[in-house]
Structure 1
Amino acid sequence: MSFWQTITRKEDPNVYQDKDSHLIRTLRVRDFLALGVGTIVSTSIFTLPGEVAAMHTGPAVAISFLLAAIVAGLVAFAYAEMSAAMPFAGSAYSWINVVFGEFFGWIAGWALLAEYFIALAFVGSGLSANLRALLAPMGLKLPASLSNAFGTDGGIIDLISLVVIGLVAFLVAKGVSQAARVENILVILKVGAILLFIFVGLTAIKAANFTPFIPKYHPTANGPFGGWQGIYAGVSMIFLSYIGFDSIAANSAEAKDPQKTMPRGILGSLLIAVVLFVAVALVLIGMVPYMKYANSAEPVGLALRSAGHPVVASVVQTIAVFGMFTALIGMTMAGSRLIYSFGRDGMLPKFLGGLDKENRPNRALWTLAIIVILIGALFPFAFLSQLISAGTLIAFMFVSLGIYALRKREGKDIPEPAFKMPFYPVLPALGFVASLIVFWGLDIQAKLYAGGWFVLGVIIYFAYGIRHSYLAKKGADVNGDNQ
């Protein structure tokens, strides 16, 4: 077998169907909607609109949110078709393994793994910071050594982040149906807090704050501000908010009737998220001049207090802190299923692909939790935020192009899905190009770190995966039988 044939050897979709059949299918459309909204509409809805408006866009931040949503929507159509046709654990990793081959599947999955590791550590750290800020006025304060990452502002370990990540892992370990019930309740509370802010904020909007809607372009220390250059910079910064729908697809092996639940969950949660993001952005800018949000860690609280609603501000911020658990639950479920799929296929040690006596992939789950706790405890990683977007955009490009290979096999060795990406063959190409444009807009540091992560993934593949994978051993068995 040539080198090219080796790295492009494709998994039989029936094998994945059989391997994942032990996972219990309990998740319904409402569970996936809650999972998607909970992951997409995370901490960023309360902070990002004000931050982006002050740094890049001015009042036109709503346009940046809409453009980022269009890019995400193009890819979401591809995700919906892929997950309906191949409802396997591991989402993009498993799909690309089937349609393009082992090496390309590994790279797509490895790129997504960066998202889950760093995003979980970020949200855990963010929850810790916000919870400590809420408790401080009550006289409850942890020492610096237990409040920050190692070597940062006198920190040794972020204790609250460690505890919440461990608690979420314990909840998910009890089963996805129980985690989904908690997720559903928390998402309802979080959406309620967002709607409360919107309705109260509408009473304090000043039309003058929207003028000029697109400020004149000029360069700043933070990059472009104003004009379409600023809007483009805002899109690259905002895109991080919309990547959560991958967490839905990663759990498709545990979906009831995935032909219907997956497309409805992916597209429905993204639509709800877009409406909420744009509404919050417009209300936020209408309440207070966007310049005042510069360097503000809590623009929603600032806007509500400026409008004379301090009690509402406290209520919204308190719910927002507990609402962060929804993102942690969603990403923990998705990340653990991705690691499980690596172990299932022998790309990483097969121990990770094992199930417990209740058919739950808890070995992968606790591996994820331990690594995330170490990242959050030991590394100051604020400068790595765009690496989350970089890794996910790489996977998005693979999935968009994968639709072309998928269509050739639908109705043959892959079942004909109930949902198909519309306007084929134009839309998959647009999804790829749009993702590439957003990726190009990331800063150079994000691209460099993404490149470093890619190199590490290639080393692991050629040092371990290429020889230990299920496909490698199956090929060795076949050759042995032929001799």
Structure 2
Amino acid sequence: MSSTLLRKLTRRRTLDDDAMATELNRCLTTFDLILIGIGGTVGSGMYVLAGEIAHEVTGPALFLSFLVAAIASAMSAWCYAEFGCRVPKAGSAYIYTYLTVGEFMAFVIGWNLLLEHIIGAAAVTRGLVGYINAISNNFLLRATPSALSSHHFDPYAPILIIVLAFVVCLGIKQSVIVNNFLTLLNISVALFVIVCGMILADSANWAHFLPNGASSIFEGAAQAYYAFVGYDVITIASEEALTPEFSVPFALAFVVFFVTFLYCSVSVALTLMVPFQLISNDSAFASALDYNGWTWAKNIASAGAIAAMSCTLLGCMITMPRALYAMASDGIIFQSLSKISSDTRVPVVATILGTIKMCLFAFFLELRQLAEFLSIGTLLAYLLIALAVIMLRYHSTDLITGKSFPVSETVPLEGQRRLQLRQLFVLMIFVIIALFTSLCINFAQLTNNDSVYYTCLIFIWIFCCCMIYLLCYLSWISTDNKDYVKSACRVPLVPFLPGVSVFVNIYLMTQLKLETWMRFIIWMALGFMIYFGYGIRNSRLAGDDSENGDKEGIISTKDHDTDSSGKKTSYQ
């Protein structure tokens, strides 16, 4: 029985030859995907987070923190790009994990990404209302009935969500038109702020370039990393892209580079305009322009912040229903959520359900409470996608299509299994050592005891050597199948670059608060009830346990290898 359960938990999807087939509307151009990615990424990270990091951590060296964070983010984006150009399906990290790791871990990723999108939308809406209050002398707050404001309830946040939900229900093309307008407005304001910063620049504000030492650059980079979270909306929207094989990797690369330029440029402008001690945590650019007497420019910066947050909110509302649609189409959550409108070709039921949840969170919870829920799902997704790239490249068959590679014909089936188990074991040990290394780094940062500090440094050095050895060993025992697969984008330096990405995401996960981990446990407990009560029996792959299990239209679970006699064998 345990072997049967394990087989169900690790069963994998594969795509058939017609991977472009979809019920959704394929109408998005490369330009549309780029603006969706920029809109989903550039929001509170530029208008709020930049000010907080500069004021509290880095000072004028803020742009260096964004540059370090960009390098770390680019590694994860590269992993997404390799999958995105080969898997033109909605679901992003969920579907990629389903193809490479298995159904259970795919459910874990998908279930957490759902909450990330819902909570993210609610948090952005609360922040947007707060920003409107800040520039309107608390107009909305004063108009709120005391019975609601006394409990910190917000009746205006759900209204904003419902308005954008209506836009989303009109269709992806209409949603993208609104998104493109808001994104272009956001970019224009950002460039305006950069020009203003250069005009108002005072080099004296950089007199103390590293007020908290060089280590503050990396401390700030750990926080700035979250400003790059959001580009995965491109891969979620890939099922509606006209040419996903080219558009997805190109859009991902362009967004990461452009957003890096934008963040670094506005960081330089901000820290040159005003002493870092006087930078506002809530409205950095507006207050900096006001500090220099440019009140008229302050209003333009505020308009840009509102446009950026609205764009991020719209991005969450576009992608969340598509994540629900992907999971429901596979049967691991309620299949009624996969219903598509015949007129707009939008997952209407998923959009309505997601909107209701967003409204509830935005109405009852404050921004601070919502912020505590964020990040863990995205970081876990980035972690698993980096591991999945290694598994994809070192497997003896194409995990995307299930087809055998020529090299597998020369290796007996039992030998292939032993090699795969050895690879999995090495990756598990690598993840465990990366976790211990991250914990040692945390102890070293927190302790005031010199002996404890240097002991942590010794262990960090030993663990880093072990991780490098494991990656070298994995590379030595494995054969990269890249020569057998045509792909527009490939991650270089496998397994080393994905390995660094794994470590970075594990380290950032250890930085999260205990409340976030408690939320993760509670949310996953609810998800496990749904999966084991419904999903495991109603999965579209459940039929694979019987003779007729491979008749689904776009899904095939047969992962064939060739044994020494040349006979094809299914071993999943």
Distance 1:102 1:141, change over 3 A: closer
1:80 corresponds in structure 2 to 81
Q: Is the CA contact (8 Å cut-off) linking 1:467 and 1:473 kept in structure 2?
A: no
* Alpha-carbon contact 2:125-2:157 (below 8 Å) kept: yes
In 1, Cα distance between equivalents of 2:303 and 2:229: 25
Aligned to 2:561: none
Distance 1:151 1:390, change over 3 A: farther
- The match for 2:381 among 395, 398, 401 is 395
Further displaced range: 123-132 or 370-379 = 123-132
Per mean C-alpha deviation after superposition, the further-off stretch among 232-241 and 285-294 is: 232-241
How far does residue 377 in structure 1 lie from its aligned partner after superposition? 0.9
From 337, 349, 353, the counterpart of 2:338: 353
The answer as to whether partners of 1:36 and 1:265 remain within 8 angstroms in 2 is: yes
> Per the alignment, do residues 284 and 455 of structure 1 end up closer, same or farther by CA in structure 2, a change over 3 Å counting?
same
Distance 2:534 2:140 in 1: 48
Which residue of 145, 150, 153 corresponds with 1:153? 150
1:100 shift after superposition: 0.9
In the alignment, residue 195 of structure 1 is paired with which amino acid? L
Partner of 1:281: 267
Superposition pairs of residues 354-433 of structure 1, within 5 angstroms = 354-358=339-343, 359-407=345-393, 408=395, 409-410=397-398, 413=402, 416-433=486-503
2:180 aligned with 1:184: yes
> Contact (CA 8 Å) 1:240, 1:388: kept in 2 or not?
no
Query: What is the identity, as a one-letter code, of the residue corresponding to 2:38?
Result: V
Distance 1:246 1:115 in 2: 12
Superposition pairs of residues 33-432 of structure 1, within 5 angstroms = 33-136=34-137, 142-145=142-145, 153-156=150-153, 158-216=154-212, 226-228=213-215, 230-293=216-279, 296-358=281-343, 359-407=345-393, 408=395, 409-410=397-398, 413=402, 416-432=486-502
Q: Aligned partners of 1:82 and 1:32: how far apart in 2?
A: 16
Deviation, 1:288, is 1.2
Relative distance call for 1:480 and 1:16 in structure 2 (3 A) is closer
Deviation at 1:37, TM superposition (A): 0.6
Deviations 1:388-432 (A, max 9, x none): 222100000110111122223448537732211122232121221
Identity of aligned residues (%): 27
Do the aligned partners of residues 455 and 70 (structure 1) sit closer, same or farther apart at CA in structure 2, a change above 3 Å counting? Answer: farther
Change (3 A) 1:71 1:447: farther
Q: Is the 8 A contact 1:144 1:153 kept in 2?
A: no
Distance apart, 1:441 and its partner CA = 2.6
| 8 A contact 1:232–1:441 mirrored in 2 | no
2:19 maps to a residue whose letter is Q
Give the greater-gyration-radius structure (CA).
Answer: 2
1:93 and 1:109 in contact (8 A); partners too: yes
- Count, aligned residues: 464
Contact 1:233/1:441 (CA < 8 Å) preserved in 2?
no
Normalising by structure 2, we get a TM-score of: 0.76
Find the aligned partners of 1:265 and 1:386 in 2 and give their Cα distance.
30
Unaligned runs of 5+ in 2: 404-484, 552-572
Q: Would the aligned equivalents of 1:145 and 1:155 in 2 still touch at CA under 8 Å?
A: no
Distance 2:137 2:94 in 1: 43
Q: 2:391 & 2:265 partners in 1: Cα distance?
A: 38
Task: Tell me: CA distance 1:460–1:152, structure 2 relative to 1, closer, same or farther (3 Å).
Answer: farther
Q: Which deviations, in whole Å up to 9, do the C-alpha atoms of 1:174-205 show, x marking residues without a partner? A: 11111111111111111110111110111222
Q: Which runs of 5+ in 1 are unaligned?
A: 217-225
Deviation at 1:379, TM superposition (A): 2.1
Worse overlay, 41-50 or 452-461: 452-461
Q: 1:367, 1:463 → 2: CA distance?
A: 20
Q: Deviations over 1:56-103 (max 9, x none)?
A: 222222222122211111000010110111111111111111111100
- Bigger shift: residues 204-213 or 256-265: 204-213
Aligned partners of 2:310, 2:386: CA distance in 1, in Å? 30
Q: Contact 1:8 / 1:102 at 8 angstroms: preserved in 2?
A: yes
Asked if structure 1 preserves the Cα contact closer than 8 Å seen for 2:127 and 2:367, the reply is no
CA distance in 1, matches of 2:495, 2:214: 33
For the 8 Å contact 1:16–1:88, the answer to whether it is kept is no
Which secondary structure does the structure 2 equivalent of 1:387 belong to?
A: coil
Distance 1:197 1:183 in 2: 21
Taking a change above 3 Å as real, the CA distance of residues 477 and 166 of structure 1, as seen in their structure-2 partners, is: farther
* Post-superposition offset of 1:15: 9.3
| Counterparts in 2 of 1:11 and 1:480: CA distance versus 1, 3 Å | closer
Aligned 8 A contact 1:50 1:285 in 2: no
Q: Which amino acid aligns with 2:168?
A: V
Asked whether the equivalents of residues 145 and 154 of structure 1 are also in contact (C-alpha less than 8 Å), the reply is no
In structure 2, distance between residues paired with 1:356 and 1:15: 26
